[in-house]
Amino acid sequence: MRNQEDAHRAAYVEEARDLLADLEASLLELEDSPGNVDLLHKIFRALHTVKGSGAMFGFDDIAAFTHDVESIFDRVRNGQLGVDRRLLDLSFQACDHIRALLDPGGEQEAQLAAAGRVILDGFRAVSGAAQPEAAPPAKAAPAPEETRPGVARIYRLRFKPHAGMLASGNNPLHLLEDVQALGDCRLYVHTEAVPGLSECDPEACLVWWDCVLRSEADAATITDVFLFAEDDCELRLDVLDSGATANGEAIHRKLGEILVARGDISAEDLEAALSSQRRLGDILSEKGLASPDAVASALCEQHAVQELAQKATERGEKAASIRVAADKLDALVDLVGELVIVQAQIRQAVEDRGDPALRGLAEHLERLAESLRDSTLSIRMLPIGATFAKFRRLVRDLTAELGKEIELVTQGEETELDKTVIERLGDPLVHLLRNSIDHGIEAPAARQDAGKPATGVIRLNAAHAGGEVVITVADDGAGLDAKAIRRRAEERGLIAPGIEMTAKELYNLIFLPGFSTAKAVTNISGRGVGMDVVKRAIDALRGTVEIDSVPGSGTTITVRLPLTLAIIDGLQVQVGAEYYVVPLGLVEECVEMTRGGDGAQAGVLNMRGQAVPCVRLREAFAIDGPHPAIEPIVIVTVDGARVGLAVDRVVGEHQTVIKSLGPLYRDIEEFSGATIRGDGRMALILDVAALVRRAAEADGPQPAAFVG
């Protein structure tokens, strides 16, 4: 039982963090559109859910704190309080405080309580209230027994506002909008109490509603919508279908049963009316046992329940989703990787035997393994938009701290990337954004002096390009100062004074450890660790990072990353008795080159009039043995440049399951991992960028002949 409670609490914590992320995104949108009523409703519902679920799972401190914040936004929603910078600042602090309350390893309880009181005091000062409203005791209808979480139920809700509800500041339409947001809803409005125009009181609420709602929310969540209006209305909530059976117990209820269940007629009246062969609704209306409006409402409920139940059956609950622990997904990917390895071994064994029947089975197994691999990896793919959304708060806070005006524009939020890549990409992107905010975008006065708008723009974009994802961070700031970079690099002894370097080479110096052009160390930048962290993190993800800058116009940083870190398509090559894998996403083409002399020298290829440097893997890895007379050359693209890799033999494409080399090989940069071939032997996966960098540090290559 204890384990089940812990599981529920853990699920609430995860859901609450998602709600807080959505809440922050809505607050940022509200800052740009203070009068957006839909955003106010969305914020209120998020706070309401955090509060209600928190109380359910024992997070009483969160429920109490969130209730007070919710009361503030209820006043905002009713037009009694305006949206301004101070209110939003306090709201963001409230989000941070709720996160701290969710974190069991956070601050001490007394410190958290004191921090919460400070935030609530700020809200009271903004709203002008002497004391936040205490949570009133619940007076609504008791919750039904069928309240299992995650099960869609069909409810009947009867909402009869008192005539004076409007005078108390409550708007019944707002309450119904909140109910509709909880699920699929059908409403029937009763207007029989509305008099003629000459007798109508414009300040009186004379209509009421019957509602059929299909929702996964429990009864308490639904009745909580009316928490602040329960003294101004009559409210009744019944469960029509608990979701316990496929067809539901309420789908086939007859008209008379519905009228009796709602209390519109008695069971005796129904029995008397059923003795006639005429339509039940007509009989009840004629005898005055039920009003025509009540009959019409019951018919509406009957049809609504059938419609909602039928839609659920047709959908098969397609919209339902489940949360899966990350370690279970990782274990599944590992098993699929082992399956791919075994499948490759089976294919190799079948090729050795030459049995046509076995070959057909092996090909079928290969197709199944490939489909399973793609399906499994797709489960791990997540849109990068959730990561982008977190950066809006970062930009807002830093711009306020630095006194700058900056707009963050994002594109490509739907671009999907492996969850592991997304998790490890967060910190590098934070550093890039902080760098653009602090160093890139100028102060408003400086921008206006330069003829630019006072508000700077940072564009964060993600897109698929072949087998990789390209992420760009571009600003319209001052750009990089190549002279200042050279001067600081020479002062720190990173480069020799007077050495010739291109602008791009100078820009790349900012990735060196300890490099910074900031004149003062602040809590934002200046210690020279940010861009070094970016470079190391991107390299660890087998990605690349490039810088392009135009002085006075801005800087663009481009990050290229593989879609996944688990299984990739590779080109298998052989050098001597060893096998290597080149990531297929880097390969452009394969050509051949004849060797001159004794074959001891490296070459430069003449590729259709373009000089392409060539790295011989035999020399790079000191592999003994005779060179082939005609060497296969694998042309790859590294940092936008074409490079040839000379090998002994190109084996072919290979599904590569990436295995870690372990801590003993951590300093060997030329290899990013290893894989197992079909014959059980190991093949090393080349880190082509590191291999080319090491070759570039050696003596320059000498020309060799090229045969097309």
pLDDT one-digit tens code per residue, 99-151: 888 876 555 777 888 888 899 998 888 877 544 444 443 334 444 444 444 56
Is residue 653 one of the residues assigned to a domain? Answer: yes
Comparing 6-15, 120-129, 231-240, the range with the smallest average pLDDT is 6-15
Are residues 23 and 70 both part of a single domain?
Answer: yes
Instruction: Tell me the three state secondary structure of residue 106.
Output: coil
Structural domain of 45? 2-127
Question: Per residue in 552-589, pLDDT tens?
Answer: 899 999 998 877 666 777 899 999 888 999 988 788 89
Are residues 257 and 345 both part of a single domain?
Answer: no
Q: Round to whole Å and give the CA distance between 162 and 230.
A: 10
Question: In the prediction, which pLDDT does 142 show?
Answer: 40
Is residue 703 one of the residues assigned to a domain? Answer: no
Are residues 479 and 572 both part of a single domain?
Answer: no
Residues near 12 by Cβ (< 8 Å), separated by ≥ 6? Answer: 53, 54, 56, 57, 59
> Residue 397 is part of a domain; what is its CATH number?
3.30.565.10
- On whether the CB atoms of residues 191 and 207 are closer than 8 A, the answer is yes
Q: Round to whole Å and give the CA distance between 477 and 458.
A: 9
Question: In the prediction, which pLDDT does 526 show?
Answer: 45
Question: Per residue in 619-649, pLDDT tens?
Answer: 888 888 888 888 899 998 876 678 899 899 9
Comparing 296-305, 326-335, 457-466, 593-602, the range with the smallest average pLDDT is 593-602
Among candidates 329, 330, 343, which has minimal Cα distance to 656? Answer: 343
Are residues 375 and 406 both part of a single domain?
Answer: no
Are residues 488 and 359 both part of a single domain?
Answer: no
Mean pLDDT of 388-409: 88
Are residues 347 and 309 both part of a single domain?
Answer: no
Whether the predicted pLDDT of 219 surpasses 90: no
Mean pLDDT of 379-384: 84
Q: Round to whole Å and give the CA distance between 242 and 555.
A: 58
Q: Round to whole Å and give the CA distance between 279 and 254.
A: 12
> Where does a domain end: 315, 343, 368?
315
Q: What band does 406 get if pLDDT is binned at 50, 70 and 90?
A: very high
Is residue 132 one of the residues assigned to a domain? Answer: no
Between the alpha carbon of residue 587 and those of residues 213, 628, 645, 655, the distances in Å are 56, 22, 10, 15
Among residues of the chain, what percentage have pLDDT more than 70? Answer: 79
Are residues 472 and 579 both part of a single domain?
Answer: no
Copy the structure tokens of residue 686.
Answer: 């080349």
Are residues 207 and 253 both part of a single domain?
Answer: yes
Is residue 67 one of the residues assigned to a domain? Answer: yes
Are residues 32 and 164 both part of a single domain?
Answer: no
- On whether the CB atoms of residues 632 and 647 are closer than 8 A, the answer is yes
- Predicted model pTM: 0.59
> Where does a domain end: 315, 334, 363?
315
Whether the predicted pLDDT of 241 surpasses 80: no
Are residues 541 and 574 both part of a single domain?
Answer: no
Is residue 185 one of the residues assigned to a domain? Answer: yes
Domain total for the chain? 5
> Where does a domain end: 127, 162, 193?
127
Are residues 364 and 425 both part of a single domain?
Answer: no
232 or 241, greater pLDDT: 232
Whether the predicted pLDDT of 701 surpasses 50: no
Is residue 75 one of the residues assigned to a domain? Answer: yes
Kindly tell me the burial class for residue 143, based on how many C-beta atoms sit within 10 Å of its own C-beta (0-12, 13-18, 19 or more).
Answer: middle
Comparing 359-363, 373-377, 465-469, the range with the smallest average pLDDT is 465-469
Residues near 202 by Cβ (< 8 Å), separated by ≥ 6? Answer: none
Are residues 408 and 551 both part of a single domain?
Answer: yes
Q: What band does 600 get if pLDDT is binned at 50, 70 and 90?
A: very low
> Residue 355 is part of a domain; what is its CATH number?
1.10.287
Q: What band does 332 get if pLDDT is binned at 50, 70 and 90?
A: confident
Beta strands 416-418; 468-475: pairing state = unpaired
Mean pLDDT of the chain: 78
Whether the predicted pLDDT of 458 surpasses 90: yes
Kindly tell me the burial class for residue 390, based on how many C-beta atoms sit within 10 Å of its own C-beta (0-12, 13-18, 19 or more).
Answer: middle
Question: Per residue in 493-511, pLDDT tens?
Answer: 778 887 888 888 888 888 8
Is residue 349 one of the residues assigned to a domain? Answer: yes
Is residue 521 one of the residues assigned to a domain? Answer: yes
